């Protein structure tokens, strides 16, 4: 399994899903800064309706799932033993390419 391909696919699905959700959203955002830091707040109201909501949410879900699979696979690869198969002892003539016969 090529781990990089899983991560690339996860990022592509996440970007496509989030772009679909945010490109067609109708919402407001707000940020209020207060002198006591505890009073600082941020508000985001995102409303996406119709087909973009039906397409964007599954794309984000699939991207998150692939990202989790890639993360778990990366952890497994870190603890996997690196076993290299030794090349069987073959005569030197067998390793040479075939000669071209000139006619």
3-state secondary structure of 44: strand
Closest CA to 3 of 85, 68, 84, 82: 68
The DSSP-derived string for 57-98 is: HHHHHHHHHHHHHHHHHHHHHHHS----PPPP---HHHHSPP
Closest CA to 50 of 20, 81, 76, 16: 20
Q: Give the model confidence (pLDDT) of 54-64 as tens digits.
A: 999 999 999 99
Highest mean pLDDT among 76-80, 89-93, 97-101: 76-80
Handedness of CA 71, 74, 79, 80 (dihedral sign): positive
**Would you kindly state where each structural domain of the chain is located, as residue ranges?**
3-80
Q: What is the pTM assigned to this prediction? A: 0.66
């Amino acid at each position: 399994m090529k781990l990089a391909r899983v991560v690339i696919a996860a990022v592509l699905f996440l970007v496509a899903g989030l772009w679909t959700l945010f490109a067609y959203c109708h919402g407001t955002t707000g940020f209020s800064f207060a002198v006591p830091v505890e009073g600082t707040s941020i508000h985001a109201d995102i409303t996406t309706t119709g087909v973009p909501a039906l397409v964007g949410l599954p794309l984000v879900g699939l991207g998150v799932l692939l990202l989790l699979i890639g993360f778990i696979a990366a952890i497994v690869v870190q603890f996997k033993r690196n076993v290299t198969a030794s090349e069987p002892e073959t005569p030197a003539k067998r390793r040479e390419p075939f000669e071209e016969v000139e006619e």
